[in-house]
Structure 1
């Protein structure tokens, strides 16, 4: 019922809209009763997935973000989210991410920061425990 309706004419602060014939109502509305049509889809609406890019005869997809990494049978693998595609639970070998070095660097920098923060917290806990142990002596 609500939709983007084209504007036919503007009369002062009122807009004359082209409404479908089944809507039997006055087709002139004040600007306060209108809002700009959204370009974002509603929850539950799915955008069609974009086809892969052809590079040297091989299909390639654009990486939106590296989500996680792991070692699987001695090989480094990444879990990624792909631009304009539904979430993908699969793990992919690291050699397939050669075309996205900036995404890998961003992920590694974030991982280094998390590891550093964890190490700092662990070191702080160790210092606190050592300090309290000294007081007992």
Structure 2
């Protein structure tokens, strides 16, 4: 007996799925779809990093590692992602013979953090009204 072949239907694009969700919520009355947060900032270590840099002019790698209670490798991966996005700037220099890495929040990073916080405040506010 020959194996039945399944026809794979193409999965709807993310845009199509989002539109379908909006239509479903529109039919549900007042229900509002959850916003998509900036995933780059939403992750715990990256959120901690941009938050710490928002209240400090700059912080060293060691300072951030201690504040965020994370490993060297984990922090460097997250810092690189934020740097590639233009959210943080990294300066490397030597203090005597000791290499130092210092991070600061860019204007773009501050704007992204403020937008993220506004979205979180809106979500919290809408939940408290219910």
> Under a length normalisation based on structure 1, what TM-score does the superposition of the two structures give?
0.26
Greater relative contact order (Cα < 8 A, sep 6+): 2
Q: Which has the larger radius of gyration?
A: 1
